[in-house]
Amino acid sequence: MKNMDFEKLSNEGTETLPSEERRRFLRFGLSVTGVFLGGSVLSLTSARDALGISDILPDAKKFPYKPHYSMVIIQNRCVDCERCMEACTKTNDVPSYGYRTKILDQKRDLGPSLQEQVFMPVLCNHCNRPPCVRVCPTTATYKDKTNGIVMMDYKRCIGCKTCMAACPYNARYFKETNRAIDKCNFCFDTRLSKGEKLTACAAACPAGVRNFGDLSDTESNVYKLVHRPDKVVWVLRPETGALPNVFYTTD
């Protein structure tokens, strides 16, 4: 029978088909469209971006630090209540002219007459290749060898502000009372070293935006959040090669 001849046949209808047959047909159709859909989606995404997720995460078996502290921000949960900022300020004695963490906002176009409001918490990214640490002349800022937190030794800071210029995330400010640069240290001195498991901002967040934990622990919340195959995980300014440890994702 030639293709054209099919048109001449009368339609048998689907009601007479056995369900086994119907299922087989649907499975076949799904696998065909699946291949095509998969193909088209992949071709819309450059190989570089497709690799992005594995690029920004350290190899699961080779985490440089133990615990490898990291924060995963579920961005679309943030409603800008700023309790994280408040908790940070209170816990870490942050003066009114400075901040260690902040929430940025943006109106994003969803269509010609539709906009959504987006909030993005930012803080020190505790990079694996921190530009600030490399440029500091006196090692006043350094990466903790155990937990990877980018710390400050205030008394060594000469106030050259090169770390401020080097930071891709605007995470540093000059604190007058210390006569030194101040920055987020994942509340190491104020909470973690005292046995707390969370940073002040993560503990204060009512919406579970800020998830803090040990990335090298496969059972941890943060590990699971960045290993969800159906979710995109991204970092800010990946092009700088700083390899940040603050990850962003959505629900």
Partner 1 sequence: MIKSILADSQEMEVATPGVNKATLLFGLLALLGVGAGIYAQVVGHHHAFANTREMPWGLLISSYAFFAITSTGLCLLAAISHLFGGNRMAPIANRMVFLSIATIMGAFSIIGLELENPHRMLLYNMLSPNLTSNIWWMGTLYSMAVGFMFVEFFSILTRQYKMAVTLGVMGAIAEVLANTNLGAVFATLAGRPFWYGAQLPIYFLSCAFMSGAAAIIIFSYFAYKIRKEEMDTDTFNGVQTAGKVLTLMLFLISVATIWRFIAFYVGGAEMARTAADALTNGPLSFNFWAIEIAFGLAIPMLLLSMTKLRSVPMMAIASAMVLVGQFISRFDLVVAGQIVPEFTGWSDLPTYLHYVPSITEMLVTCAGFGVACALFLLGERFFGNTFRDSGHH
Tell me the three state secondary structure of residue 59.
coil
Closest CA to 100 of 79, 121, 78, 124: 124
Query: Would you say 211 and 72 are in contact if contact means Cβ atoms under 8 Å apart?
Result: yes
Among left, alpha and beta (phi > 0; psi -120 to 50; other), residue 212 is: beta
CB burial string 144-174: b at 16+ within 10 A, e below: eeebbbbbbeeeebeeeebbbebbbbebbbe
The CB-of-121 to partner 1 minimum distance in angstroms stands at 11
206 vs 241, beta carbon nearer partner 1 = 241
22 vs 161, beta carbon nearer partner 1 = 161
The CB-of-165 to partner 1 minimum distance in angstroms stands at 6
The CB-of-86 to partner 1 minimum distance in angstroms stands at 18
Residues at the interface with partner 1 (CB under 8 A): 97-98, 104-106, 120, 122, 131, 134-140, 155-162, 164-170, 172-174, 176, 179-180, 237, 239-242
The CB-of-13 to partner 1 minimum distance in angstroms stands at 56
146 vs 170, beta carbon nearer partner 1 = 170
67 vs 238, beta carbon nearer partner 1 = 238
76 vs 162, beta carbon nearer partner 1 = 162
48/53 Cα distance (integer angstroms): 10
The CB-of-200 to partner 1 minimum distance in angstroms stands at 21
The CB-of-91 to partner 1 minimum distance in angstroms stands at 20
57/64 Cα distance (integer angstroms): 11
2 vs 145, beta carbon nearer partner 1 = 145
Closest CA to 238 of 43, 51, 42, 45: 51
Q: Find the helix or strand (DSSP H, E) in which 69 lies.
A: strand 69-74
The CB-of-131 to partner 1 minimum distance in angstroms stands at 6
130 vs 148, beta carbon nearer partner 1 = 130
Among left, alpha and beta (phi > 0; psi -120 to 50; other), residue 179 is: left
Q: In 129-227, where does DSSP find H-type helix?
A: 131-135, 162-166, 200-204, 221-226
Q: Give the CA radius of gyration of the chain.
A: 25
